[in-house]
Amino acid sequence: SEGPGRGSEFIIRLPIVVGQELALVTTPAMRTVPTRAHILVVEDNPDSRDMLRALLEAAGHQVRIANDGPGAVEAVRLHGPDLALIDIGLPGFDGYEVARRIRRELGPAVRLVAVTGYGRSEDRLRTAAAGFDSHLVKPVSPEQIDHEIASLGIRPARR
């Protein structure tokens, strides 16, 4: 609030029940929504990778990194992230091949998001054909990342 006398006051009154057991009733609004995702960041540029990792970890997510195509596929096999943010221009093999291999082996178990400098309509068609669920053009905003995390049913933490 802006100081004393300028905030909100909330009063909650609960009945006292003696000698009865209360049944727990939950509503959709009361159910716990996870706030932490397991995310794989696949990026060969150290500055971009470190910035994205710091952003995600600051929001409370568990983050693993891979620097190249083969490392990305291995990380998905070993750790089964909820979400993989994958650059297209990678050493070893490119992000398109990463997506194809993950889809061949695991199907839709992991949400794959292309995070790339390539933003033409042909590039978007190519990422979709390779098996990506979404396509983000660099530089990517925190709100775009939050949207991808929210698509998993995970509520992004407030910044």
pLDDT digits (tens, 9 = 90+) for 105-123: 999 999 999 999 999 999 9
Residue range 18-38: mean pLDDT, rounded: 59
CA distances from 102 to 38, 45, 138 (A): 16, 22, 23
Which tops the pLDDT comparison, 136 or 5?
136
Specify the pLDDT at position 26.
52
146: CB partners within 8 A, 6+ apart: 59, 156
Helix (H, G, I), strand (E, B) or coil at 111: strand
Q: Which of 19-23, 33-37, 123-127 has the lowest mean pLDDT?
A: 19-23
Which pTM value belongs to this model? 0.77
Specify the pLDDT at position 30.
46
Q: Does the pLDDT value for residue 15 go beyond 70?
A: no
H or E segment at 86?
Answer: strand 83-86
Q: Does the pLDDT value for residue 2 go beyond 80?
A: no
Q: How far apart are CA 154 and CA 159, in angstroms?
A: 15
Mean pLDDT of the chain: 86
Residue range 56-79: mean pLDDT, rounded: 96
Among residues 142, 34, 143, which one has the least CA distance to residue 82?
A: 34
